[in-house]
Amino acid sequence: MRLNLFSVDSDSLPFEPWIMIQSNQNKTLATFLVCLMLLSSAANAETNQRIVSVNGTTTEIIYALKLENQLVAVDSTSYYPKQALTLPNVGYQRTLATEGILNVKPTQVIGLESAGPPATIQNLKDARIPLLLFPDEFKLETPVTRVLEIGKLFGKQKEAENLAKSIREQIQKLKMNKTNVKVLFIYSRNPSSVYISGTGTAAHSMIELSGAKNAITEFTEYKPLTSEALVKANPDIILMPEKSAQGFGGEKAIWEINGMELTRAGKEKRLIVLDDLLLLGFGPRLPLALKTLNDQWKQLE
């Protein structure tokens, strides 16, 4: 079995109180000026930003909040929606170069705390470029938190609240049946470096939140795949991000991994390949990803 989703009060005014109110006429004038300045401030928040997004999920949220006219560059994980591919690319989120980002004159860089290397992040701070870097959290509430924070930052509170409400409602409607299906998550960019996911990762959270069990719970984070670990885990199904499956050489190469033939997944040729960002992004499409996975687990019971 194989599933592909390849395309699938302001408490104070923002200025010095230089307007002295001495008469009703002056009060009217002062009120007018205050309103004008507040409107101007709000407009600037919506139109004068030059955003660089260094994570696919934050890029997806920026488009969902219709802030794309302020987006001037993205990283290589920003491929959804496809319009993001037309923007200048500043490289992979973990190997960013300072010059590449500064060249597009950003007024705001946004992404995850895993963005790096640390020297580049420090250089951006030294250059006084505002940074909004979200923690690498993998919870049901994670996309809602990110949507609301980005909406607040760019003056799109109403749109963000609507999107957050929609995400919450979709999650509440999910009927996630718990199963005993054991899932092994494999990550690889090429056949010489193959990793499996333990606990504490986005993959582990997706497996658990979607109702299945992670076949590997002996360690945290990612470790290189060994035949012994594979046979011992004896997964019912293999789960891979699309780009990993492609980098590894496709489905045939996956079944040829030493020891795979001794596992239930290998014997039944059970493989799920899902779009990387959908599977691991914890963005607005998290409910869709969870439903997709849970539907597959149900078929195995």
Question: What is the predicted pLDDT for the residue at 212?
Answer: 97
According to the model, what pLDDT value does residue 290 have? 97
First to last CA, the chain: 14
pLDDT above 80 for 34: no
Residue 177: per-residue pLDDT: 82
Does residue 35 surpass a pLDDT of 50? no
Q: Which tops the pLDDT comparison, 8 or 23? A: 23
User: Which has the minimum average pLDDT: 95-99, 160-164, 190-194, 288-292?
Assistant: 190-194
Radius of gyration of the chain (CA): 23
Average pLDDT (112-141) is 97
pLDDT score for 175:
84
Chain-wide mean pLDDT for the chain?
Answer: 87
> In the prediction, which pLDDT does 18 show?
27
d(Cα 286, Cα 164) in Å, to the nearest integer?
12
Residue 47 banded pLDDT, cuts 50, 70, 90: low
Please say whether the beta carbons of 206 and 274 come within 8 A.
no
Q: How far apart are CA 43 and CA 70, in angstroms?
A: 13
Residue 242 CB neighbour total at 10 angstroms:
19
Q: Is 137 exposed, middle or buried (0-12, 13-18, 19+ CB in 10 A)?
A: middle
Higher pLDDT, 217 or 1: 217
pLDDT digits (tens, 9 = 90+) for 76-118: 999 999 999 999 999 999 999 999 999 999 999 999 999 999 9
Instruction: Write the pLDDT tens digit of every residue in 142-175.
Output: 999 999 999 999 999 999 999 999 999 999 999 8
Angle between helices 142-153 and 157-173 (to 10 degrees): 170
